[in-house]
Amino acid sequence: MSEELLTQILNELKTMNHKIGNLEKGRLGGLEEFRAEVNQKFDEVNDDIDFLKFQVRNNDKELFLIKRKLP
Protein backbone atom coordinates (compact mmCIF):
# COMPACT_ATOMS: atom_id res chain seq x y z
CA MET A 1 0.00 0.00 0.00
CA SER A 2 1.12 3.48 -0.68
CA GLU A 3 1.81 5.93 2.09
CA GLU A 4 -0.93 8.21 0.77
CA LEU A 5 -3.53 5.44 1.02
CA LEU A 6 -2.43 4.61 4.57
CA THR A 7 -2.73 8.28 5.52
CA GLN A 8 -6.26 8.41 4.07
CA ILE A 9 -7.24 5.28 6.00
CA LEU A 10 -5.76 6.69 9.21
CA ASN A 11 -7.60 9.99 8.74
CA GLU A 12 -10.86 8.14 8.08
CA LEU A 13 -10.37 6.08 11.26
CA LYS A 14 -9.73 9.24 13.27
CA THR A 15 -12.90 10.80 11.85
CA MET A 16 -14.93 7.69 12.68
CA ASN A 17 -13.54 7.56 16.21
CA HIS A 18 -14.42 11.22 16.69
CA LYS A 19 -17.98 10.62 15.47
CA ILE A 20 -18.36 7.57 17.73
CA GLY A 21 -17.13 9.61 20.69
CA ASN A 22 -19.70 12.31 19.95
CA LEU A 23 -22.47 9.71 19.72
CA GLU A 24 -21.48 8.20 23.06
CA LYS A 25 -21.43 11.62 24.72
CA GLY A 26 -24.87 12.40 23.30
CA ARG A 27 -26.35 9.15 24.54
CA LEU A 28 -24.86 9.52 27.99
CA GLY A 29 -26.07 13.10 28.22
CA GLY A 30 -29.59 12.01 27.31
CA LEU A 31 -29.53 9.22 29.86
CA GLU A 32 -28.28 11.53 32.59
CA GLU A 33 -31.05 14.02 31.81
CA PHE A 34 -33.65 11.23 31.87
CA ARG A 35 -32.26 9.96 35.19
CA ALA A 36 -32.46 13.44 36.70
CA GLU A 37 -36.10 13.79 35.60
CA VAL A 38 -37.00 10.38 37.01
CA ASN A 39 -35.32 11.19 40.32
CA GLN A 40 -37.15 14.51 40.53
CA LYS A 41 -40.52 12.86 39.89
CA PHE A 42 -39.69 10.12 42.38
CA ASP A 43 -38.95 12.77 45.02
CA GLU A 44 -42.28 14.46 44.26
CA VAL A 45 -44.14 11.16 44.65
CA ASN A 46 -42.37 10.53 47.96
CA ASP A 47 -43.39 13.98 49.18
CA ASP A 48 -47.00 13.30 48.16
CA ILE A 49 -47.00 9.97 50.01
CA ASP A 50 -45.57 11.57 53.14
CA PHE A 51 -48.25 14.27 53.00
CA LEU A 52 -51.01 11.69 52.58
CA LYS A 53 -49.70 9.72 55.57
CA PHE A 54 -49.77 12.92 57.60
CA GLN A 55 -53.34 13.66 56.53
CA VAL A 56 -54.50 10.13 57.36
CA ARG A 57 -52.98 10.39 60.85
CA ASN A 58 -54.71 13.72 61.42
CA ASN A 59 -58.02 12.35 60.19
CA ASP A 60 -57.69 9.28 62.40
CA LYS A 61 -57.03 11.51 65.40
CA GLU A 62 -60.06 13.67 64.63
CA LEU A 63 -62.26 10.60 64.26
CA PHE A 64 -61.00 9.25 67.57
CA LEU A 65 -61.79 12.52 69.34
CA ILE A 66 -65.25 12.72 67.78
CA LYS A 67 -66.04 9.12 68.77
CA ARG A 68 -64.91 9.84 72.33
CA LYS A 69 -67.40 12.67 72.60
CA LEU A 70 -70.32 10.59 71.36
CA PRO A 71 -72.60 9.16 74.05
HSE toward the beta carbon, residue 8, CA cutoff 13 A:
5
69 pLDDT tier (thresholds 50, 70, 90) = very high
Measured CA distances, 30 to 6, 16, 33, 34 (Å): 36, 21, 5, 6
- Using the predicted structure, report yes or no on whether residue 31 has a pLDDT greater than 90: no
27 pLDDT tier (thresholds 50, 70, 90) = confident
pTM comes to 0.57
